[in-house]
């Protein structure tokens, strides 16, 4: 189940950065309970991120649409604060950091 969730997260992009939210390192934790309800703990690139109102509901909607998922909730956290060291090597390469 977790791999299916990750596949979906890799289709969601921060509109300011051409890298998906998973490779960008915005997703801190994915929890799937016994009833296949998914809770995603994630952050944004900054507290003033322009998609702060729209990105979490988009993530919830797309993850909840996975056929075996019985609902999804996004919890936003600012601890630890996001920085570019949290990006995957793929994201760093895509953005020219490697």
- What digits encode the pLDDT tens for the residues 29-67? 999 999 999 999 999 988 888 888 899 999 999 999 999
Task: Name residue, tokens 């090597």.
Answer: 89
- Tell me, yes or no, if the pTM score tops 0.85: yes
Residue 89 has pLDDT above 90, yes or no: yes
- Mean per-residue pLDDT of the chain: 93
Domains of the chain in sequence order: 2-89 (3.30.300.130)
The residues, any chain, with a CB within 8 Å of residue 25's CB and separated by 6 or more, are: 82, 85, 86, 87, 88, 91
Label residue 85 by pLDDT band (50, 70, 90): very high
Q: How many Cβ atoms from other residues are within 10 Å of residue 89's Cβ?
A: 10
């Amino acid at each position: 189940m977790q791999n299916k969730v990750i596949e979906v997260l890799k289709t969601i992009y921060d509109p300011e950065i051409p890298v998906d939210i998973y490779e960008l390192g915005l997703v801190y934790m994915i929890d799937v309970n016994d009833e296949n309800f998914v809770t995603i703990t994630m952050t944004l690139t900054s507290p003033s991120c322009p998609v702060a109102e729209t990105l979490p509901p988009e993530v919830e909607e797309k993850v909840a649409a996975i056929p075996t998922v019985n609902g999804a909730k996004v919890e936003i956290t600012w601890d630890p604060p996001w920085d570019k060291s949290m990006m995957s090597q793929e994201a760093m390469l895509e953005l020219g950091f490697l």
